[in-house]
Amino acid sequence: MFASIRRYRLAQGSMDELTRRVDEGFAEQISQQPGFVSYEFIDCGDGEVMTISVFSGADQAEASRDLAQRWTEEHLRDLEFTRLEMLRGEILVSRAAEDMLAPGHVGGAGRFASVRRYRQGSGSISDLMHTIDERFADGIQAMEGFAAYHVLDCGAGEILSISLFRDQSAAEDSDDLALAFVRGELAPFDIDRTEVIGGTIAVSRAMAQLLEPAHA
């Protein structure tokens, strides 16, 4: 699977209105695209938004970026926001719980996301991912409130992990667990955590393929 991640800052307009339009329009449209696996719209606070689109193939994930650009130009002209960053990568390790298949709508019980960015200083990416798959992924899956966990290779030594939980407290506990794992088990890879981004998942869609574990 491949993920396309976009970050924005809403400078003018209502976050509630933006979220409503995404829920009623874009989320439905992207979920009908070929190869679609999942989509999350995350309100990170202070006007910052992150979206995560997961598709079966790299080309399909890339096409979702073009779809997002076209939809934004057509439906969000009255809202002023800046695109801060775009990330992409192959999901090499993944776990997900069945309740991820329930759509997340505006006003519902939103899950919480914790996105962690790392820089790998030594060792091979395949060995790193194998270690995460064998020694960490099942442990985080067993945590109370677990919804999903993905690890991406973004290239050039950058690693991204995405943890989704049913509440903020559980997501923050996963941050502590991840930090201890990085300092202990991943010391040979010289891993540096560069950023942690958290937020409420206001809108989500997912297909059954998400439940199939990805192993490194």
Taking only the tens place, the pLDDT of each residue in 57-102 is: 999 998 888 899 899 889 998 998 888 899 999 999 999 999 899 9
pLDDT at 110 over 80: no
Task: Indicate the pLDDT class of residue 121, thresholds 50, 70 and 90.
Answer: very high
Which pair of tokens denotes residue 22?
């995404």
pLDDT at 168 over 90: no
The residue type found at 19 is: T
| 140 CB-contact burial (10 Å; exposed 0-12 / middle 13-18 / buried 19+) | buried
pLDDT at 133 over 80: yes
pLDDT at 10 over 80: yes
pLDDT at 9 over 90: yes
Task: Indicate the pLDDT class of residue 167, thresholds 50, 70 and 90.
Answer: confident
Dihedral sign of CA atoms 24, 116, 6, 93 in order:
negative
Q: Percent of the chain at pLDDT above 90?
A: 83
Task: Indicate the pLDDT class of residue 157, thresholds 50, 70 and 90.
Answer: very high
- The angle at the Cα of 157, spanning 154 to 161, to the nearest 5 degrees, equals 50
Per-chain mean pLDDT for the chain: 94
Model pLDDT, residue 107: 85
Task: Indicate the pLDDT class of residue 109, thresholds 50, 70 and 90.
Answer: confident
* pLDDT tens readout for residues 176-203: 999 999 999 999 999 999 999 999 999 9
Contact 139, 194 (CB under 8 A): no
- The angle at the Cα of 63, spanning 25 to 3, to the nearest 5 degrees, equals 90
